[in-house]
Amino acid sequence: MLREEKSIRMPGGLYHELQVRMTYNSNHIEGSRLSEDQTRRIFETNTIDAGEGIPVDDIIETVNHFRAIDFCIDVAEAPLTEEIIKELHRILKQGTKDASLSWFAVGDYKKRANMVGGHETTKPKEVAQHMKELLSRYEAETAVTIHDIIRFHYEFACIHPFQDGNGRVGRLIVLKECLRFGLIPFIIEDAKKGYYYRGLSEWEGEQGYLTDTCLDGQDTFRKLMALFDIPPESDL
């Protein structure tokens, strides 16, 4: 369904709303200053009334995120690989000011150590091996559930394989994998980011926080489907 709507750039359908709502929320969680209305205008008209003080990168990364969602739809059925994950990062960060930095590896793993929320992440020299191990464990699952995808999302966040853009790439992977296994995707709303961050930071002690937040995001997507009279068991 999404691929068909994408191919004809169908206005006002599920593909249209997925693009606007996921892009707005995922970017806003990471600090974008664009409103949902501005995000919608970029998608619908390829123009923007930016107002005062909107960073150019916010606009570039919004357009790039639309393209990254398209890529997820295009490769939805494919096994998850390092190449797909790196391509999502390349699409998201190309043309940004980060891409002009000699040490910032667009479409490749980080070269400098980084932290997230005050927590240490995987060292650059260990990222490739940790990603291979994560993907090997995940791809060995015989019947992937939404809980497996949530766990993968957490473990990916802990590795934090890229210099920047890890959160958005992680949520794009979730979209692709939900489509791959016939699961309703989840959209983490910016308004729920506090619960989302708590879930990531406290996963080792209480997995329910992140799980509940992601399942709430699934309910958000179900409501979106209901607006178009799409049954929950439909093949997206």
- Active site positions, annotated: 160
The CA distance from 168 to 198, in Å, is 17
The CA distance from 172 to 20, in Å, is 14
Q: Are 177 and 149 in contact (CB under 8 A)?
A: yes
Which residues contribute to the annotated binding site for ATP? 116-119, 164-171, 196-197
The CA distance from 193 to 184, in Å, is 20
> Would you tell me how many other CB atoms lie within 10 Å of the CB of residue 59?
18
Strand bridging mode 115-116 / 119-120: antiparallel
The residue among 164, 40, 176, 31 whose CA lies nearest residue 108 is: 164
Coil/strand/helix, residue 29: helix
Count Cα atoms within 13 angstroms, Cβ side, for 204: 4
Furthest-apart CA atoms within the chain: distance in Å: 51
